[in-house]
Amino acid sequence: MEDLAKAVDPRARFKRRTVVDSALLPWTRSDTLLIAGLLVAAAMTRFISLGSPSVFVFDERSVVEGGARIILGGGQFLSTHPPFPAEMIALSIRAFGDDPLSWRWLSASLGTALIGITYLLGRRMFASRLVGGLAALFVICDGLYLVDSRLALWEIFFFTFSAIAYLMLFRFAYSVDPFARRRTLTVMGFALGFALASKLGIPFITLLLMTACVAFLVLKRPGTPGASDAQQREARNMELYGALALIWGLSTIIFIVVFFPNYWFGWWHGLEDHVAFYFGEYRFQQKLQHSIHLSSTSPWWSWPFLLHPIIYYPQGEAVTTAIAAARSIRSIGNPILWWGALASIVVVTRQAITRKSMERGFLVLAYAIYLTIWIPFPRYEFIYYYMPSLYFGFMALALSLSDCWSGATRRWEEVALLIPFCPVLVLGLGITVGTMTIVVLAVAYLALTRRGGPKAGRMVCVLYVAATLILFVYFIPIWFALPLTPQQFGARMWLKGPGVADWR
Amino acid sequence: MVVNISLRRAFSRLILAVTLVCGPTLAYGSELHADENLLGNDNLTDGTDVPNGWQIISRLPRNPPQAAQTFVWTHSPPAPGELQLNNRTFNSVKWDHPIELERGWYSLTGEMRASGIEPIYGAAILGVEVTSSKFGLAFPDTRPESDWRKGTLYLKVGSAAKQIDVVCALDGRGTVACRNISLVRISGPPTTGGRVIDVDTVRRAELKPIFRKAKGHMWTLFSTLLLLAAIAISGWIALGPSDSQ
């Protein structure tokens, strides 16, 4: 129990972190160089050839035409998702003109910022530049995060503002300065507000998760030395009220304020109309429960295994033709990262229990909540609903690989992390070459384990980074809509059915 | 002399009237290029693998031989090019030309020939796709088997530029061919009747089901915002350093 108390004692953590932060992990030139390098790499992948395709891709039509252009034309905003992304795109259209680059540069900017935020989050959560750097690299090299950062869609707005909220949560956890805590929660309130204002539904889960975590930290915070129990209880209750009031007050204000165009143009006359709008939206969503299941939909359990991506562009297209090179955008993630994230979540779950680690527990909790929330949903679902969970999967993978590098992992954990290479190698290289490569890797790993030390773990880490980069380059044509011959296209469609396991 | 003055005045007025009426009309007409086919590639003859501006889309995966059999582009000038679709299995396929339209009126014309279209579940469509709904040209008959038929569809585009897709589509089994497809801007609503699609209305209908008319009161908005601001400020104050700190 004492260990548990230490594990959840924020002040104890703060002290430990203070030592680590100030003595071992101050902000150094390495941090500056590393984050600058990551941001440059992210910007290159997000901004290059951003105007292509020059037509609406996937839900861009809803965001731009059903959102931004409606607002610019003084129409009533009635899209399912809140209007903040559409408003930003409307401003961009007003400033720079109505073209694909103008619709998408905001997503690309937020997608780039997300990389920096991920580095800061990983570094802060685990006092490790390696964790932060790897997590940021994984977000750069993943197909879904890349595609969503290159299109005028809602998701990247939500992901980026949510990531800011996560970062603020861990700043709050390690801070004992009341002024700093208050500033941190203010930023969190704004970030959660903009997340709520960007997408319907799932940001509310983020708000609840952050609220629960902040409440947990406040209630577990040790009292002031010398104060009576009653004083301490009163101070804690006051802090709890303050934290919740600040977060919910700010985030709700922002959520309401982003709907101002509907009031400004006279479509809504009061808050009752806003409420009525959501009753209508509820009825609309209920209708979707009975609608047909499109070929792009997939059940929640299939997402972690990357079984059924969506064709973003051209919509409805599933063709590789003899008469034209195929150009398409598909929501295929980087397979080694997706399957590695799944393996690492298993590893980190066990570590969270055995080590009683708050940070690891948070990773597992957030991953599980964002995934299981979709289980009771009766309407059709898409693979990109998994992305909030995946973010924590990437963080867990970065943490596991960092442990591998430092020799802090057990053998079974390293083996678990190596398992995802089997499907990657077999599907990517074919059964013969793939199996031979697996055998070679297994022999190399066993040889390194006999030598002792962290070499075997480092091999796992190096393999992941290498595979991530190789697969990133390999799948770029699928994410950038570059032309592929039928053979090249077919080679990248690793799963071809039957059933839900189909990438085509 | 009096007669001459009257005649001169009448003539001047006539000139003025003609100038006022015809001048802007001619100027407007010259800007519109009323006969210009906005799809370009008039006879579907330009292009390498597919006609310029067109793309091929299939709901089900097609391997290269199947795709080559499904999507056929014939073009041997001076005969007009044709876009053909052949489905042996149940599938939805289309030749698709996305285009962005400014506010105004448009006329889409074209010719279509179909055969072997399944009576209930199948459809051959030459027309436009707005969001996820397809609207075909109005043809004089709706037989599943037909020789070349010419049809027209009028589009009204409202407040902002709208992207639509001109499609030659086939749902289900059968064969369809489309040619002489032309989208031109027209100066106003059709005078001869015909099928009219209001793109704005279609979009609005697809965007959202019916919402009630606004009945709210502005005080509810401002009082809620004031209440939330008060809550946030009280939270800010509550989080300040306590005496014991």
CATH of residue B145? 2.60.120.260
Listed in sequence order, the residues at least 6 apart from B205 whose beta carbon sits closer than 8 Å to its beta carbon are none
d(CA B9, CA B27) in angstroms, rounded, equals 26
Please name the residue that has the structure tokens 């009061």.
A270
How near does any CA of chain A get to the CA of B193, in Å?
29
d(CA A21, CA A7) in angstroms, rounded, equals 18
Number of structural domains chain B divides into = 1
pLDDT digits (tens, 9 = 90+) for B89-113: 767 788 999 888 888 999 999 998 8
Residue B18 covered by a domain: no
Find out whether B134 and B127 touch, Cβ atoms under 8 Å: yes
Confidence of residue A463 (pLDDT cuts 50, 70, 90): very high
Residue B232 covered by a domain: no
Instruction: Say if residue B241's pLDDT is above 90.
Output: no
Query: Which chain B residues contact residue A276 at CB under 8 A?
Result: 211-212, 215-216
**3-state SS assignment for residue A144:** helix
Residue B39 covered by a domain: no
pLDDT digits (tens, 9 = 90+) for A9-39: 444 444 444 333 333 578 899 999 999 999 9
- H helical segments located in A356-454: 358-372, 387-406, 411-418, 421-429, 431-451
Pair of tokens at residue A204: 């509310």
Query: Which chain A residues contact residue B159 at CB under 8 A?
Result: 69, 73-75
Instruction: Say if residue A401's pLDDT is above 60.
Output: yes
Nearest to A318 among B61, B217, B230 (CB): B61
Q: Which domain holds residue B155?
A: 55-207
- Quote the pTM value: 0.73
Query: Which chain A residues contact residue B65 at CB under 8 A?
Result: 322
CA A357 to chain centre: 21
Nearest to A320 among B55, B64, B71 (CB): B64
Q: CA dihedral in degrees (A335, A339, A345, A347; nearest 10)?
A: -130
d(CA B214, CA B62) in angstroms, rounded, equals 49
What number of CA atoms fall less than 13 Å from residue A323's CA on the CB side?
Answer: 20
Residue B212 covered by a domain: no
pLDDT at A502: 81
Nearest to B234 among A245, A257, A325 (CB): A245
Residue B15 covered by a domain: no
pLDDT digits (tens, 9 = 90+) for A157-214: 999 999 999 999 999 988 878 888 899 999 999 999 999 999 988 999 999 999 999 9
pLDDT digits (tens, 9 = 90+) for B131-164: 767 777 766 555 556 778 888 889 988 876 678 8
Residue B59 covered by a domain: yes
Residue B37 covered by a domain: no
Contact state of B209 with A243 under an 8 Å Cβ cutoff: no
d(CA A301, CA B99) in angstroms, rounded, equals 38
Closest residue on chain B to A287 (Cα): B209
d(CA B131, CA B129) in angstroms, rounded, equals 6
d(CA A101, CA A97) in angstroms, rounded, equals 9
Residue B121 covered by a domain: yes
Q: How far apart are the first and last CA of chain B?
A: 108
Q: Is A136 exposed, middle or buried (0-12, 13-18, 19+ CB in 10 A)?
A: buried
pLDDT at B207: 55
Pair of tokens at residue A469: 């980069």
pLDDT digits (tens, 9 = 90+) for B201-211: 777 665 554 45
Closest residue on chain A to B210 (Cα): A280
